[in-house]
Amino acid sequence: MNRRKFVTHTVTSGAGLMLSGILAGAAHKQEPDIYTGNQKQPFMQEVLKYRKIDAHAHADENQYKPEVNLDFADRLGIEKLMISNFIRPFSEGRPDDFRTRNSFTIKCMKDHPGRFIGTVALNPAFRKESLEEIDRCRDAGMTGLGELYNQVKIDDPLYYPIIEKCIDLNWNIMMHSPVGHSRVKLYQSEPKNISLPEDFVSIAKRYPEALFQFAHIGGGIDWEYACKVLKDVPNVFIEVSGSNNAAGMIDFAMKYVGEDRLVFGCDYSFYQGVGQVFSANLTDAQRKKIFFENIAKRLKKAGIHVN
């Protein structure tokens, strides 16, 4: 597949920066190539032309303010953000905690209609309360689970009734992925119940009709490791958010899991989330799938129509 140019160069003449002779001892037989440099390309026009759904966003009253989310979203052409107020690591994640968090998410949806798609935080260690919370949040317009954190592993039997309910609702299930796996030991901040790529494979095979989202391959995991492990589980989306906008990450993910399983997200790293998609070797159609169409299809299954 040929690399698609970022944008069509609209300017064909002009003086570039010619540094000839700057390198001492340079001697050449070749004539200089014809290359005119920047000439102010319409980058933002290209960025804004793609519809985008951020499949990994957060909102709370402190670190992830809704207004900041929307400022970045407007700047970069992100129509909707799938927000959660996740249960923090090392907290017990009791029902009163996740109810309060979800209520804040519901408030954000009401305050900014059409911009936020609320996803549900819960802790399957509290089975009855979690199942009830799904009903409460669904009634309030939320859809899908996320970001599930590390209170319980994704393939723990405690999750079975939750996942079965999500299957009935056609809900997306988005869970955090671990940090630091490539250094043999997990990051110190990762609790022992963190879900590894292998755990996602295990649960995805047990429930092939369930819709999983492996969070933020740019969030600190070894993305090559993760994509290789998750290669053959078609019901797991690979979501590309995170602050580590490693060159080649999306190209590698494309090779292993393909254009129908990659979804765009930022996880509050907005420049990297958008920038790396334009840096990757993608066609126009592939960008559309990653930015919008893949996750929109899943949302549609759950009754959320964003077209």
Partner 1 sequence: MLIDSNAYIGHWPFLRLAHNTPETLLGRMKEFGTDASVISNLNGIFYKNTQHANDELWEAIRSKRIYTDRLIPFAVINPVYGGWRDDLEQCTTRMGMKGVRLYPQYHGYEIATPSCVELVKRCRDKGLPVAFCLRMVDSRTSSWMDLDKEWTLKDIVPIVKAVPDAKYLVVNVANSMALNTEDMDLFRKADLLFDSSGRNITNWADLFKSFGTGKFCFGTHAPILDYFSGLLRIESLRPTEADEKTKAQLRSGNIKKMMGL
For partner 1, the binding residue among 2, 13, 17, 305 (CB under 8 A) is 17
For partner 1, the binding residue among 243, 258, 302, 306 (CB under 8 A) is 243
Q: Is 139 in the site for partner 1 (CB under 8 A)?
A: no
# residues near partner 1 by CB under 8 A: 62
Q: Is 246 in the site for partner 1 (CB under 8 A)?
A: yes
**CB-CB contact of 58 with 84 (8 Å):** yes
Of residues 24-43, which lie at the interface with partner 1 (CB under 8 A)? 24-28, 30-33, 35, 37-41, 43
Of residues 80-99, which lie at the interface with partner 1 (CB under 8 A)? none
The strand pairing partners of 117, in sequence order, are 82
Of residues 151-180, which lie at the interface with partner 1 (CB under 8 A)? 179-180
Of residues 277-296, which lie at the interface with partner 1 (CB under 8 A)? 278-280
**CB-CB contact of 75 with 44 (8 Å):** no
Q: How far is CA 127 from CA 103, 131, 159, in A?
A: 19, 6, 8
In this structure, what token pair is assigned to residue 61? 């009253």
Q: Which is nearer to partner 1, 128 or 185 (CB)?
A: 185
Q: How far apart are CA 53 and CA 192, in angstroms?
A: 32
Q: Is 78 in the site for partner 1 (CB under 8 A)?
A: no
For partner 1, the binding residue among 8, 20, 62, 307 (CB under 8 A) is 20
User: DSSP for 140-167?
Assistant: TT--SEEEE-SSS-TTSGGGHHHHHHHH
Q: How many CB atoms lie within 10 A of CB 19?
A: 8
Q: Which is nearer to partner 1, 43 or 90 (CB)?
A: 43
For residue 139, give the amino acid letter.
D
Q: How far apart are CA 46 and CA 120, in angstroms?
A: 33
Which residues in this chain contact partner 1 in the complex, by CB under 8 A? 3, 5-6, 9, 16-28, 30-33, 35, 37-41, 43-44, 47, 75-76, 179-180, 182-185, 187, 220-223, 243-251, 269-272, 274-276, 278-280
